Structures are given as C-alpha cells and as structure tokens.
Copies of this chain bind each other. A is one copy, B any other.
Amino acid sequence: MSAEAPLGVTPAAEDGVGVAEMVEEAAVWCAVHGLVVGDRSQPRSGTVPGVGLVHAPFSLLPTHFPASFWKQACELAPIFNDLVDRVSLDGEFLQDSLSRTRQVDDFTARLLDIHVKMMEVNKKEDIRLGLHRSDYMLDSETNSLLQIELNTISSSFPGLGSLVSELHRTLLNRYGKDLGLDSKRIPRNWAATQFAEALGMAWTQFNNESAVIMMVVQPEERNMYDQYWLINHLKESYPFIICFLFPCNVKKTLAQVEAEGQVLPDGTLVVDGRTVSVVYFRAGYSPNDYPSEAEWKARLLMEQSSAIKCPSISYHLVGTKKIQQELAKPNVLERFLDNKEDIAKLRKCFAGLWSLDNEEIVKTAIEKPDLFVLKPQREGGGNNIYGHDLRETLIRLQKEQGEALAAYILMQRIFPRASLTHLVQGGVCFEDLTISELGIYGAYLRNKDKIVMNNQCGYLMRTKVSSSNEGGVAAGFAVLDSILLTDEVIAIYRLIIMNIY
C-alpha cells in the first residue's frame, strides 16, 4: 500500500511535473521559510533553538474539502468561543459533570481541586482569553461535519499550520496549472498572526506597559518553532511595546514558575522579577507535564493571580471529553446559549456521545460495535477502542459495574473517506491511504461585559495514514496539511487528482 521513494529517485510523472521535483521544491521551501521542527533523533533539538532541525512532515498537495462544510466549520468558531465562556462561568455544572470522572482520573481530579479552590474564594476572571481549536471530520455515512473534540488549552500548530497553507499556495502557483488545481481555492490562513494579535490585545487590556506575556512551555519541545512563530508575529505587531517597555517575552516551564514565581498581595503575578500580564499555556494539558508537586503548585499559583490565564482552569475543564458529552445531551446547550440558530448549528456538528450509564446505547454498541468508538475519559493518554475489543470491553465493564464505567465515553463512529496522499517526512515521500481532520482556530477575548474579540482564526488540516487494524478511523503517522475548497458535496478522492499528472 505504501511505496517509499527517496528524494531524487523519481516516481516520475507522465507528462512534465515530477513528484520528486515537487518534493524537493517543497522541502527546500520548508527549510528556508521556517516550516521546521526539532528532529526526534537529535538529542538537543527539543531544548536548543537552531539545531537538529528538520522540515515538518507535510502532505505534498492540499486536501480537497467541500466549501459548504468549510463555511459551516468557520461559522461554528465564534459560537464555540462564546459557549466555552458561558460554560466556564457555571462552576457547579463543571464540578457536577466531572464528579464521576474525578473518581477514575487523577489528572482531572487535580484540575478540579484547583477549580474548587477558585470557587471557594469566589475568584473572578474579568479578562478572559481563549485560544481554541475545534477539530472536525467529514463523516461519509451521514455526509456531515462532525466535531471530534474542542481544544481549549495549548491548541498547537497555529504557526506551522499557516505556513503549510503558504507552502501549498506556492506549489500550486507553480504546478497548479498542470495539475488542474487553483491556488486561489486554498483559504488564506492567518492563524499565527491572529493568535498573536489576540495575545497582544489581551496584554493591552491588562493595561500595564511593563508587564510581560509569559509562555508556559515544556522543558523539552520539538515543536518550538510553532511557538516562536507566534512570538515573531507578536513582535511584529507590537514592536514598540516589546522592545522598549518590556525587554523580552518570557518563556518558562511550570517548574521554573514554581521556583521563580510569586503572587503579590494585590494579586500581581511576578515571575523572575517580571510582572506577568498574560500566561499563555503551551504546556500543562497532559499529566506528563506535572511530574511532581512543584508543577501543580505553579499551576495553582498562576490561577490565584490576577494575570490573564489562557486558559483559566475553568476554560481548561470545559475542553474535557466529559463536558463535550454533557453538552451533547438534550437541553444542555439551552442552559448556556439563547440564540436558537446557534444552538441548532452546534447540535448539527455533535456526533452521538453517551456515558456508559446509558444502558440502551451500551446494548446497541455491543450488538453493533462497528458503529461506535469507546473513548477513555482520561485526558492525555489511552487509545480509542473499536470493533471486537469494544464489545469485549463493554461486556466486561457491565459485569464490573461501579466507577469503572465512568472511565469511558461512547461516541458515534465517524467514517471519513480515505484517499491516496503523497506524504513527505524526513525528506522522503511516500504514498498512502489517509484520512483528514480539520481544526478551526478561534480567539475570544472578553473584558468584563465587553467582548473585545470573538473570531475564527485560520485552520489546521492534519492528514493521517489510516491504519486498517484500528478500523480505518484511528490513525497513525500524521502530517500537516491545508485544504483546497471544492464545490462538490463529497470530497473528491485525492487518488483521482494524483492520477491526472
């Protein structure tokens, strides 16, 4: 199914455009335009900038995507932004909904503990910044756009994702005529500049010219250039502020924040001697980010401060799978939103989501396991369960009963169409069957009653080799991708496109 073709060895095109030529041009483009990541095989590449670089894995051509679904996904972004904010204000709802999850997942329990502490002191967040990414797949069974998950913390790839759109536009400007692909059908992708703009505007709302924006990062981060692109854009948009009012943006690990941070009596967060206006998390979303109590202390410290947290603990909790499932229940959206059209739009993109205390659906899933996915409730780990394994697990859980049931959520199985794609990784191009997931970025900034910003902000297409042993939905190796809008309702097989030349 997959045929490797090292660069230079040509899977030659019949009439003119060679894949090898395009791959070389694309790899060079990545190298000279900063579409790079740290190379896993290079020990220092996750800690020292500028060394051990390799082009980010990418698809050679953008994936076809129907314009109608694209429009639908974009329209959902500000509604989800709004929803996250509304739900975050209902502390009781979050605590109640996650109470059973707390029993089976230590990580969620720790987040809930912080949340409780904030509720106890009636902590208010006047300025609230959300930088989200809502991920979707196209389901070929129902011919609909269905949400996979909503990321409210550390939404990655706004920087590199924007660049992939540029890469594909460049390639199509050059080869598009021969391929019958129009570069103008790739939507402009300003995710990085818009996220930077949102961070800058939050800084402005904080209204302290000497305060810094602090990015909380993992001690080792091979995706650091995605983060640096945000910083770069921030410097471009706010050069005066950055250069002359605070000497630099601060990048800290959770452990460093614990060691160097304090909250002053007036709530001011000071880290390494600098007042922090905005805490932007690019770490802290996974249990692995909290190897000791120090990291939890740091998280609590920041939450207790008056700095703008992106996200706050409540925004973070709204992004859990359990809350996603709760919101999909009848009449729950209505608790948070007034606009019926908005509610209808959201509901339309919800896949079926059920907890295992719904006996009827569990029965159905045991009978027709291929129509469902069993998702571990635990954040940051655990593979989805399909087919035969799903049936076995459900039968076992039913026998055991008790809290174990709360460790999983059942989700309607989505059947994305697979298509043949040229994937490029480590300078090597290979062709394989793939499925794609579209992420739409959203930025939301609120100061008390005033909504300063509520925008859709670009997108990220991720294309993954469909691994058949997990039933064609779960995916292995993934590459960064962009989209080419089509008028068709059903996405054209890329297979057809690749045969054109």
Contacts and interface: CB of A to CB of B under 8 A. Distances in A.
B247 A51 contact: no
Interface of A: 6-8, 16-17, 21, 24-28, 30-34, 36, 39, 44, 47-55, 173-174, 177, 225, 228-229, 232, 235, 239, 242-244, 247-248, 426-427
A48 B32 contact: no
User: How many of these chains are in the complex?
Assistant: 2
Contact of A28 (B25, B32, B49, B247): B49
Contacts of A243: 173-174
B34 A31 contact: yes
A44 B427 contact: yes
Contact of A50 (B28, B50, B235, B247): B28
B229 A427 contact: no
Contacts of A33: 32, 34
Nearest to A41: B42
Contacts of A32: 33-34, 36, 225, 228-229, 232
A36 B16 contact: no
A33 B32 CA distance: 6
A242 B175 CA distance: 11
B53 A36 contact: yes
B427 A49 contact: yes
Contacts of A24: 49
Given A31-B225, A32-B36, A225-B32, A427 B247 contact: no
Given A21-B248, A28-B228, A427 B34 contact: no
Contact of A51 (B21, B239, B242, B426): B426
A30 B248 CA distance: 18
B228 A427 contact: no
A32 to B, nearest CB: 3
Contacts of A21: 247-248
B52 A54 contact: yes
A290 B117 CA distance: 74
Contacts of A225: 28, 31-32
Query: Which of A33, A52, A229, A235 counts the most B-chain CB atoms under 10 A from its CB?
Result: A52
A496 to B, nearest CB: 23
Contact of A31 (B47, B49, B177, B239): B49
Contacts of A55: 50-51, 53
Contacts of A239: 173
Query: Which of A44, A50, A55, A174 counts the most B-chain CB atoms under 10 A from its CB?
Result: A50
A335 B344 CA distance: 88
Contact of A16 (B26, B48, B247): B247
A24 B227 CA distance: 14
B51 A427 contact: yes
A32 B55 CA distance: 11
A220 B173 CA distance: 29
17 contacts: A6-B48, A7-B48, A21-B248, A27-B48, A27-B51, A28-B49, A28-B50, A31-B36, A31-B49, A31-B53, A31-B228, A32-B34, A32-B225, A39-B51, A173-B239, A173-B243, A174-B243
A45 to B, nearest CB: 9
Contacts of A235: 174
Per CB-CB distance, the 6 closest pairs between chain A and chain B, nearest first, are A32-B34, A27-B50, A50-B55, A53-B53, A48-B427, A51-B427
A252 B244 CA distance: 49
Given A7-B48, A8-B48, A33-B34, 8 more contacts: A6-B48, A21-B247, A28-B225, A32-B232, A44-B427, A49-B427, A53-B53, A174-B235
B44 A50 contact: no
A51 B16 CA distance: 26
Contacts of A52: 39, 54
